[in-house]
Amino acid sequence: MMNDQRLHYPATARNRDPILAVLRQILPPRGLVLEIASGSGEHIVHFAEALPHLDFQPSDPITEAVQSIDAWRQSAGLANIRPALTLDAAAASWPVEDLGAVLCINMIHISPWEATEGLMRNAAACLPAGAPLYLYGPYKRGGRHTAASNEDFDANLKARDPRWGVRDLEAVAALAAAAGFSAPTVTEMPANNLSLVFRHDG
């Protein structure tokens, strides 16, 4: 396709169905789902196609990603995906209202800690009581990597940007608790990743 702005991330094809299986269990029967750091847009198209009873709002701070998300949205022709927002998780506030859930896949380790702080703060401000905040990615548990491949990945991330790195699950959970979220429900996922589901205490 000429001028195709769609980005392709190979990991998406591998993890989208395991993630979808968790989302089917936790997302509300209707409402607006905000995805923070949507990346290429491949995930949100897959979820929107599988969950037509929900509306999806993708977002990303990077222009190239926003263009890819909208290209995927237009290619898919799905009515339940809104145009992508240019949005940084660490922004003072998010320009969204009446959310039913927030998703954030593979962002926390590839961003400064301030992005996670903003994610928790803003998600708490936007979500009603009982609504889920879903996170996916690699985490350390008890201060230790869960696999040698994650340790190698962590070193690679820190070499690229010292502000990045695989986070401690306990540190993320403590930050969430301070923002008004429950302790996470943790599901082990393929390739040594975890799904974390926090519920807003309201």
What CATH number did the domain enclosing 91 receive? Answer: 3.40.50.150
pLDDT at position 10 = 85
pLDDT given for residue 4 in this prediction: 86
Residue 42 lies in a domain: yes
Q: Is 83 in contact with 73 (CB distance < 8 Å)?
A: yes
E-only strand ranges, the chain: 31-36, 54-57, 59-60, 85-86, 99-105, 132-137, 139-140, 167-168, 185-189, 193-199
Cα(172)–Cα(58) distance, rounded to whole angstroms?
Answer: 23
Which residues, given as ranges, of the chain have pLDDT below 70? 1-3
Residue 185: Cβ within 10 Å count: 15
Range of the domain at 124: 10-195
How many domains are contained in the chain?
1
Contact 49, 78 (CB under 8 A): yes
Question: How does DSSP classify residue 184?
Answer: P
In a domain, 95, yes or no: yes
pLDDT for res 3? 59
Pairing of strands 99-105, 85-86: unpaired
Looking at the domain assignment, is residue 1 inside a domain?
A: no
φ, ψ dihedrals at 107, nearest 5°: -110, -40
Q: 173 in a domain, yes or no?
A: yes
pLDDT of residue 138: 97
Q: What is the pLDDT of residue 147?
A: 95
